Every structure is written in structure tokens, then in C-alpha cells.
Amino acid sequence: MDGSKREFLDSLLQTSTPSGFETAGQREWVAYVSEFADDVRTDEYGNAIAVIEGGDPTVAITGHCDEIGFMVRDINEDGSISLTRIGGSDKTVSRGQHVVIHADGGPVPGVIGQTAIHLRERDDDSYSDIREQHVDIGVDDSEEANELVEVGDPITFEQRISELEDGRITARGLDNRIGVWAAAEALRRAAEHDPDATVCAVSTVQEEVGLKGAQMVGFDLAPDVAIATDVTHATDGPGVPGDRDTGIELGEGPVVARGSTNHPKLVEAVRTVAVDAEVDHQLQAAGSRTGTDADAFYISRGGIPSLNIGVPNRYMHTPVEMLDLDDLDATAELLGAFAARAAEFSYAVDI
């Protein structure tokens, strides 16, 4: 992956978008899709929709732009910052990390403190709850701290994108800036084929706190078909418990979920397109739910045929999430190819 596609991905990953504070990332996304979309619009909470006008059906290719993080819960007398979560932040990886507090006056760097190993009880390997952890910004009292930050300011780990071997990268918040990258790229690739369907790329907000943006978009846009692109657990790395092994591997292509939320006719259509386009893909069982925006789309209105397509991801919800760039590019290729052919298929269940 190179050129403008990689520049766009890096710009998304370098922009902090904790749930409820996604505006800066949405501006990056809107600027990119505006170059080829017929129309781009946003709603009151910042969900963004880019449209290539066509006929029926209306197909939504979606991802969520928000990431997990923290928030300033309180400012203590000694100037330290008490935390609360944004989304599913993991208390086992937060201590000893560099962070940025995104204050109105500009970014404030800090660290989430960890008592030195020399000073801890030798047999104490427990993990403090997020509410018991604190950010040290280097000041000595609350008066200094209050001049820099406020209660409710969002906090994210300091960003770093690392290039690994064999076309793999690691960064914070691949979940799910890669999904909105794939949605935008799918729209661009679909536009090159002048699709008969109306194709919408959607970047939703607040997925990490309960699929909120998708609920808004599902009702307002009311597409005929919705595909939510998100990360999914690659379990081919070391340390994964055997009973949690899904068989999903990095480098083996996008993952098509089956069951529950995932509409069987839409699954069939996407798999047909994958075979025809020679896009290798993997399958995943989702017997109860997907845990993605697809779960919100499919129960909107009278029911929207929906599907979750995953990009394999190791170490989810940590500062070192990992993916294979070929998987990501193949996901965009599959989504774009499906959008270009969406009018060929029927999405009604035969009973």
C-alpha cells in the first residue's frame, strides 16, 4: 500500500478520535471522500455519509471512526489526574504508558504512573482498576493542573505507527480507523465501475460505547443493505487460550461472519463476489451477535439486511494492535467489488 491510500490511512491513525470526540478524525475522512463522492453530509453527532448516486438498492458500506480511551475524572490536590474509561479500555495495559490529554488549550502530555518494581510488594501482581490509576503531567498541585486540563477532557495513548516485517503494522486504535479507511476506499473503487446501485460510505461515531452512531444512521439513512467493517480477533498469535481460538489468521484475507445478525442472502452474495474477484477470505461463526455496528443496523426500521466483515487484528484494545496491510487492502477490494455489483442480487429470504 502506497501513495495517497497510505497517506490517508496514516492521517486517520495519527488523529485521536475517542468516542464522543471524533470531530478531528471525521474531518480527515470527509476531506478524502469529497474528492470522488457525489455528495457528503454529516449529522448532528458527527456521523459522516458519502454517496455515489445510482438507482436501487441503496448500499451502505460502514466503519466506526471512534477509538477507546480515557477521560479526566478528577484533578487531585497533588496535581495528578484521576481516570475513567471511554469504552472498553484495558486496565492490564494502561500503566507505564505515555498519554496525551486533549484539552481545549492544546494537547497536554503525561504518563500513567506505575510504582517501581523495587517499591511494590514482591508477590503483588494485581492490576489496579482504571479508577485507581492516575496521569502525572509533571505539576505539583491542583492549581497548576487546573490551568491546563478540565474534568471531561479525553485522553489517549501517545500515537506511534510501527512498520513490522511482511507488510504488517502496529498502532493504537486500528480498531476501527481501518474500518472507515476501508469504507472510503470501497466507495472510491466502486465509483470507478459506475455502479447501478446507490453506494454510501459511512463513518459512524460512538460504536465503542454502544453502537450509538449506527443506530442514528440506520434509522435516518435506511439503506437496503448495510455492511459493517470492523476488526476481528486474529488468534494465530502466541498466548491465545485454546478455547478462544477462532482459526482467524493474519494475512489470509477479510473475514465474512455467518449467523445471527449476518443476513444469509447477503453472506451468499458477498462470498460470490469474493470468488469472482479472486479475493481470499475467511469465515467466522457469530451465533449470537457480532459486537459491531452490524448489530445496530440489522434491527433498524423494519430490519435491514446486514453483514459484518472483519479485518484480522492481533492484540485488540491495546496500544499495539497489529494487522496485515494486504488484509486491509483486500477488504476494501471486496467491499468495492460487491458495491459495484449490489444491484445483481436479491436480499429477501425465501420462505
User: C-alpha cell of 232?
Assistant: 476481528
In eight-state DSSP terms, residue 159 is P
Q: How far apart are CA 219 and CA 239, in angstroms?
A: 41
Q: How far apart are CA 43 and CA 320, in angstroms?
A: 32
- Asked if the peptide bond before residue 47 counts as cis, ω within 30 degrees of 0, the response is no
Name the residue with cell 458519502.
50
CA 200 to chain centroid: 18
Name the residue with cell 469472482.
276
CA distances (Å), 240 to each of 12, 244, 321, in order?
A: 29, 7, 14
Active site residue 207: yes
Q: Which of 207, 208, 321, 333 is catalytic?
A: 207
Name the residue with cell 478520535.
17
- Asked if the peptide bond before residue 146 counts as cis, ω within 30 degrees of 0, the response is no
Counts for the chain of helices (H) and strands (E), in that order: 8, 17
132 CB neighbour count, 10 Å cutoff? 10
Catalytic sites, residue numbers: 207
